Amino acid sequence: MLAAMARNIVVSEAGPIDAVVKARHNRPDLGDAARRLAALDIGALGQARSGEERHLFVKLNSWHALALPLFRRAFPMVPWIFLYRDRLEILVSQLKRRGMHMVPGLIGHDVFGFATSPSTPTPETYCAEVLERIGEAVLRNYTPGRTLLVNYNELPAALWTGVLQYFGISCSADDIAAMAQAARYDAKCPDQRFADDTAAKRNAATDQIRSTAQQLAGLYARLETLRLSPSRPPSPV
As a whole number of angstroms, the distance between CA 22 and CA 24 comes to 5
Model confidence at 93, pLDDT cuts 50, 70, 90, reads very high
Domain assignment present for 235: no
In a domain, 101, yes or no: yes
CA distances from 6 to 3, 63, 105, 177 (A): 7, 29, 40, 13
With 0-12 / 13-18 / 19 or more C-beta atoms within 10 angstroms meaning exposed / middle / buried, residue 43 is exposed
- pLDDT, residue 69, reads 92
Instruction: Assess whether pLDDT exceeds 90 at residue 179.
Output: yes
CATH assignment of the domain containing 211: 3.40.50
- List the domain range (segments joined by +) for residue 207: 2-228
Number of domains in the chain: 1
Helix (H, G, I), strand (E, B) or coil at 198: helix
The dihedrals phi and psi of 55, each to the nearest 5 degrees, come to -135, 145
More confident of the two residues 95 and 107: 95
Please report whether residue 100 resides in a domain: yes
pTM for the full predicted model:
0.88
Give the Cα separation of 123 and 114 in Å (integer).
Answer: 16
Kindly state whether residue 234 falls inside one of the protein's structural domains: no
In a domain, 25, yes or no: yes
